[in-house]
Amino acid sequence: MYDYDELTGSAAAASQASAREVVVMKDQPGQPHKGKVFAAVHAHADDIPYYASGLCAKLMREGYTGYIVRTTNDERSGGHTNAQNIYSNEQDHGRMAAALGFQDVFDFYYLNHDMDGISCIDLRGRLILIFRMLKVDTTISFNPSREDEENPDHWVTGRAVEEACWMAGMPNDFHEHMLAGIQPHAVTERYCFYARPSQPFNRVVDISSQIDKKIDAIAACKSQGDGNRGSLLRAELARQGKRLPLFGSDDRTADRAYVRQFLLDNDREYGRPHNLQYAERFYYIDRRPTKSKAEEYIEKNAVRS
């Protein structure tokens, strides 16, 4: 295991560790990522809040500009009619993105639960346009593997992100973008969620300093994701003539307290082996260009003719 800041502190040094070795990423001082852009791509309004809101908040604190893309319309989650669910999830998504500090929000509105029936080229093309337009350096999304992933929206989204990252750098893919003045731009760093127990991880991200932002993000998920569970429970207890001191005297306090008390067990468990209060896990892939063997050879051995 490597400690991120015990190396040189640079991402390049961290990436030298084998892909299988676990690197702990702690807070970095200042804004080492200033000028870099990441896109967080999820399927449902509560995916990023649970799997990666700590990492998103950390990277933006350290200088990244963040954008968020939601691929589905979330019509099947929310407890109301599909139309009402679409609207309430859209509202939640905007509030969650604002709480975390995202620069902008993209909603693709593919049918919820049915993404394995859509055109993967359509989805890929839309992502490629966004990655090129925003000059995205880094993505945060699902592991593309289908193994153990019950929700097709998750792996379809993860696969499209994986494919779009390298194709965005190829001028012959969607070449009409260039005619519109949008240049090829490959995405070179990827963080994949640790969403299922069999999925791999090689980064443990210390999110202890960002935990209040993560709580805000989860609490914004009221249509799905239990963000309003605390206030609902507080009202239910009041009807029974009871109260929990934990829930305070207003809905916001109750919602946040519920999240902190009952919904962060994974984050505590992932941090425990590394003496961190809260952590998230990811599989990190580094595709930043390095010198080829031929380039290194030329640098050492070329002579004037």
- Please give the residue ranges that form the binding site for Zn ion (CB under 5 A): 43-44, 47
Which of 152, 169 has the CB closer to Zn ion? 152
Q: How far is the CB of 47 from Zn ion (least distance, A)?
A: 4
Q: 208 vs 38, 58, 81, 256, 290, CA distance in Å?
A: 21, 10, 38, 16, 33
Q: How far is the CB of 256 from Zn ion (least distance, A)?
A: 22
Residue nearest to Zn ion (CB): 44
* Contact predicate 68/105, CB 8 Å: yes
Which of 43, 279 has the CB closer to Zn ion? 43
Which of 24, 43 has the CB closer to Zn ion? 43
Check residue 212 and report its DSSP letter: H
- For 34-56, the DSSP string reads TT-EEEEEESSTTHHHHHTHHHH
Q: How far is the CB of 106 from Zn ion (least distance, A)?
A: 17
Which of 41, 43 has the CB closer to Zn ion? 43
Q: How far is the CB of 89 from Zn ion (least distance, A)?
A: 11
Which of 64, 283 has the CB closer to Zn ion? 283
Q: How far is the CB of 153 from Zn ion (least distance, A)?
A: 6
Say how many Å lie between the first and final Cα of the chain, rounded. Answer: 48
Beta-bridge mates of residue 133: none
- How far apart CA 226 and CA 230 sit, in angstroms, is 8
